[in-house]
Structure 1
Amino acid sequence: MLALRSGLTRALAVKTPVPQMCSSFATGPRQFDGTFYEFRTYCLKPSKMNEFMESIKKNIHLRTAHSELVGFWSVEFGGRVNKVFHIWKYDNFAHRTEVRKGIAKDKEWQQVIVPNLALIDKQEFDITYLVPWCKLEKPPKEGVYELAIFQMKPGGPALWGDAFKRAINAHVNLGYTKLVGVFHTEYGELNRVYVLWWNESADSRAAGRHQSHEDPRVVAAVRESVNYLVSQQNMLLIPVSFSPLK
């Protein structure tokens, strides 16, 4: 009896593996890659758009000396006019801290940006991660971009991540548009997903969208995803001359 109790005690001491719940958006893969993307949107005062853009175009090299600019666009359609949108890449949060310190000490850049602040009516920015199941793609040639913004139900990617992935892949795999990247907010409006698409033109984007809406494979995937959707919006973006993503 004593031997039986001893064996039972040892058996109970062995921990049973606990199944891990995981979503395709989960933070696990990001533990090994701290890279994140800062999304910045500037709403400029009426009549100040050209003045702001000319100044930035002339001096953007001072800013990109500190960190990598992914893309810079003017907003053509979607929401407020006189708006610019840009994405900056950082290795991790310590890297961003050092960059911000360097920018603050850069007298040349400060002489540029401080006067330009008076031209900006509103600034917004989010910290996002590129989701683990896609990488940042560079389009084959110049075109236009669409930024689709999805506000998902509370509960996080464990609730809606897999369905959302299937909806995105349905469009990509069937060739209706080209995916540049899918980003999930870390700071900002949570449960928000940004999807950046590329098309040759606004007309080709419209044609692809109409065709996809008639494809039962896309319709089925989207129908599943919208069960978790709160709201969505989009913007048509035109890359500026100095944008790395054209």
Structure 2
Amino acid sequence: MLGLRSCLTRVLAARTLAPQMCSSFATGPRQYDGTFYEFRTYCLKPSKMNEYMEKIKKNIHLRTAHSELVGFWSVEFGGRMNKVFHIWKYDNFAHRTEVRKALAKDREWQEQFLIPSLALIDKQEFEIAYLVPWSKLEKPPKEGVYELATFQMKPGGPALWGEPFKRAVNAHVNRGYSKLVGVFHTEYGALNRVHVLWWNESADSRAAGRHESHEDPRVVAAVRESVNYLVSQQNMLLIPASFSPLK
């Protein structure tokens, strides 16, 4: 009888503690809000970067007539050259399907940009991501440069590493080393991947802030906790295009 009572006590205790193990990173607003973001990375053929940028600048209004462009950047550092990165916003998957169908029927878009530009592109990569519940998309106060920090976390999902990751990001935000634009968690693409989009006035101000953060005990402690769940990290310095909503 004592053994049964002890077993029941452990089960009830586990059920009581279980909700506390869930991270807000994995529950809440993201589950009820259908809005998501499509990350597109295009690797262009050598010597075709300028030609592609001229074409997209001239015709981007045809594309944005169908859905919202969040930002469009060229990659300055952090990967192969001749690369562009852009983010598109959709209300839900039905909305994206409608947009793709409309684009397929848009002869002006197809003939003036899409078909001619295909020969300029070497590789395309797509991801679908949600803003995490504790982040909202922020617009920087003025023009500058952006940094996309991509973290591949250990299997287990945000319930495992969400809170330590949040503390690491907020440690940088609270100390003012960089301005946070948004934190995104992938839904399609590599799983357990988080993208953090930062803004800085310049590449030099970013470098100065990073140097200071490395000597800040509060930031170091938060990052040290988070890296226990980290597999790899890649950073890209992004230069906004003239037509990018995020400058």
Q: TM-score, normalised by structure 2?
A: 0.91
Contact 2:45–2:122 (CA under 8 A) maintained in structure 1? yes
Q: Which amino acid aligns with 1:77?
A: F
Matched residue SS, 2:104: helix
Question: Aligned partners of 2:16 and 2:153: how far apart in 1?
Answer: 32
Listed one character per residue, the Cα deviations across residues 163-188 of structure 1 (whole Å, up to 9, x for unaligned) are 00000000000111100000000000
Listed one character per residue, the Cα deviations across residues 2-23 of structure 1 (whole Å, up to 9, x for unaligned) are xxxxxxxxxxxxxx98953421
Other-structure match for 2:162: 161
Task: Decide whether aligned partners of structure 1 residues 155 and 198 sit closer, same or farther in structure 2, where only a CA change above 3 A counts.
Answer: same
Residue 212 in structure 1 maps to residue 240 in structure 2: no
Contact 2:240–2:246 (CA under 8 A) maintained in structure 1? yes
**CA displacement at 1:28 relative to structure 2:** 3.1
Residue 56 in structure 1 maps to residue 47 in structure 2: no
**CA displacement at 1:207 relative to structure 2:** 0.1
Larger Rg: 1
Aligned Cα RMSD in Å?
A: 1.2
Deviates more, 1:31-40 or 1:207-216: 31-40
Task: Decide whether aligned partners of structure 1 residues 149 and 18 sit closer, same or farther in structure 2, where only a CA change above 3 A counts.
Answer: closer
Structure 1 runs of 4+ off > 2 angstroms?
16-22
Listed one character per residue, the Cα deviations across residues 136-184 of structure 1 (whole Å, up to 9, x for unaligned) are 0000000000000000000000000000000000000011110000000
Task: Decide whether aligned partners of structure 1 residues 87 and 74 sit closer, same or farther in structure 2, where only a CA change above 3 A counts.
Answer: same
Matched residue SS, 1:214: coil
Question: Aligned partners of 1:43 and 1:25: how far apart in 2?
Answer: 31
Other-structure match for 2:189: 188
**CA displacement at 1:24 relative to structure 2:** 2.3
Other-structure match for 2:78: 78
Q: Which amino acid aligns with 1:42?
A: Y
**CA displacement at 1:35 relative to structure 2:** 0.4
Matched residue SS, 2:73: strand
Q: Which amino acid aligns with 1:87?
A: I
**CA displacement at 1:29 relative to structure 2:** 1.6
Question: Aligned partners of 2:73 and 2:49: how far apart in 1?
Answer: 12
Task: Decide whether aligned partners of structure 1 residues 27 and 109 sit closer, same or farther in structure 2, where only a CA change above 3 A counts.
Answer: farther
Residues 78-97 of structure 1 mapped to structure 2, 5 A cutoff:
78-97=78-97
Question: Aligned partners of 1:190 and 1:165: how far apart in 2?
Answer: 17
Q: Which amino acid aligns with 1:243?
A: S
Other-structure match for 2:9: none
Other-structure match for 1:8: none
Q: TM-score, normalised by structure 1?
A: 0.92
Unaligned runs of 5+ in 1: 1-15
Question: Aligned partners of 1:242 and 1:114: how far apart in 2?
Answer: 21
Residue 99 in structure 1 maps to residue 119 in structure 2: no
Contact 2:44–2:121 (CA under 8 A) maintained in structure 1? yes
Listed one character per residue, the Cα deviations across residues 181-212 of structure 1 (whole Å, up to 9, x for unaligned) are 00000000000000000000000000000000
Unaligned runs of 5+ in 2: 1-14
Contact 2:30–2:131 (CA under 8 A) maintained in structure 1? no
